[in-house]
Amino acid sequence: MEKMRKDNLNKTIETKFVYNFDVLEQGLYLIEIIASARSWWQNLIGFNSFFNDDDLAVKIDNVEFPKLNNRRGLFDGEAAWNGNNLKGLSKTDVIIVNLSKGNHALNFLADQSPIVKSVNIFKNEKEKVTYAPTENNPSQGGNRRQWMTIVLANLSLKNISIKATATKKEFDDEDIKIIIDGKIKTNNDTKWHKNWYWCGRILRGQEKDFSQDLNFPKGLHYIELWADKTPEIKNLMINLGKDDQKPEEKNPEYIIKQVQDLYREIGQEIEFSKVPSPLEVFNKYDKETGVASNEFSIEPAILKATIAQESSFGNVIGHDYRYIGESGLMGLEKKNSIAQLAKLGYTFNYNGVQDVIRASAAYYKWLISIELGIFKDTRNPLKLYTQYSKDLKARNTKAPGIKEFLYYYFYYKQ
């Protein structure tokens, strides 16, 4: 891993701050950000603000890092700095991301006055990342609080290995908790600190390894390390797995040919007057699509393509996630689609993003089961996206949006 840039900023952020940097070649980069935030009572003592803690969030270009359950805003996410948790101490974010050649920006959003202490940028040559933090390690003394968050931005996670140490000091001990995508990895060596994988009372200064094969698909992933007192990370290794996708699979001509081949299966020829522009890195609903995909055996790319086509991931003016099925296949805002899911015995909350995407997957699963002779492959995405109608025998293969949906499907397909 090669260090490309180091900046000791020690900059107080009042509202917004943009940190610009250039990337000389496309590749995998590791961006280390160390920042601190104060609690509300620390701000009160400083006469800065009454009952408001410091909060800080960061975006890379326009890519956000929301809380996995999407229940609250960016300031409460796994990658944020929360003053009531940190109480003035430092937290390290390590963002691992593929970047294109050219200019990029870290966009910091602040509430009150958190401090960005430093930004370090490294280039990683392979899919295996080795990280040995030299700053904010050991952690600053504090009680059971966030210490480091490793963010994988639109990447797969094959396996992880962490070597760390903790010890017992006088009347208290050091501990480290590890949380991967919201799940705590428990410690089977002690009954006292089950949720703290490294327990100083047990280790007494010795090193302990955590290693696990995860095989998580491409998407947004968080590895959180919480610290009690001053434990230390010796080494962290992450194997992202190889990206088996060939370069031409992102090429518009290659994608269009795949779409045309689907139409030729039913004896039709189509052309694109305009090539859609899908977002290259978008992970806003990867967690939800993964859950729905596993539950109903539907490709994540199908769900992701539908969200892209129906609402541009909620970025269409006046639309939000509930409109991912406004028209086309799912029509989840249409009474007959909801009625059909009810006939199948499903009950969904159509005001909740997770259930809307689950309902979409359930609807796809049902459509796959419908026999339609012109299609050799019952799972053909062209078949799926053309069958939404009061008359389920409809073969409206030339409806607006179908070509774009299929383009997105092949673009996002793993």
pLDDT mean over 372-387: 64
Which two structure tokens, joined as six digits, stand for 23? 């990337």
319: pLDDT confidence band, cut at 50, 70 and 90? very low
Q: How far apart are CA 190 and CA 206, in angstroms?
A: 15
The least confident of 13-22, 123-132, 191-200, 236-245 is 236-245
Predicted local distance difference test score (pLDDT) of residue 28: 94
pLDDT in tens, 168-177: 887 789 999 9
pLDDT tens-digit readout, 215-232: 888 888 999 999 999 999
Burial zone of 191 (CB within 10 Å; 0-12 exposed, 13-18 middle, 19+ buried): exposed
Length of the chain: 414
Ranges of each domain in the chain: 2-239, 247-412
Res 268 pLDDT > 90 = no
Higher-scoring residue by pLDDT: 382, 360: 360
Which CATH architecture fits 2-239?
Sandwich (2.60)
Burial 222-252 (b: 16+ CB within 10 A, else e): bbbbbbbbbbbbeebebbbbeeeeeeeeeee
pLDDT in tens, 349-374: 877 778 888 888 888 888 777 766 66
DSSP 84-113: HHHTT-EEEEEEEEEE-SEEEEEEEEEES-
Least confident of 44-53, 83-92, 267-276: 44-53
- The predicted model gives 12-25 an average pLDDT of 94
pLDDT higher than 60, residue 386: no
Cis peptide before 138 (omega within 30 of 0): yes
> Is the pLDDT reported for residue 69 higher than 70?
no
Count of Cβ atoms closer than 10 Å to residue 318 Cβ: 6
Position 354 scores a pLDDT of: 82
Name every residue whose Cβ is closer than 8 Å to that of residue 343 and which is 6 or more positions away in sequence.
none
Residue 131's closest CA among 54, 9, 235, 224?
Answer: 235
Answer yes or no: is pLDDT of 317 > 50.
no
Which of 155-164, 267-276, 342-351, 369-378 is least confident? 369-378
166 vs 175: CA distance, rounded Å: 6
Q: Which one is predicted more confidently, 285 or 247?
A: 285
How far is residue 412's CA from residue 172's CA, in Å, rounded to a whole number?
Answer: 50
Give the pTM: 0.62
- Asked if the model's pLDDT at residue 52 lies above 70, the reply is yes
Query: Got the DSSP string for 294-360?
Result: HHHT--HHHHHHHHHHHHTTTTSTT--GGGGGSSTTT-TTSHHHHHHHHHTT----TTSHHHHHHHH
* Percent with pLDDT over 90 in the chain: 41
**Cα angle at 291 between 216 and 392, to 5 degrees?**
130
Lowest mean per-residue pLDDT among 14-23, 121-130, 138-147, 273-282: 273-282
Q: Rounded distance, CA 377 to CA 313, Å? A: 28
Average pLDDT value for the chain: 82
Closest CA to 217 of 135, 132, 289: 289
CATH architecture of 247-412: Orthogonal Bundle (1.10)
Q: In a 3-state reduction of DSSP, which class is residue 288?
A: helix
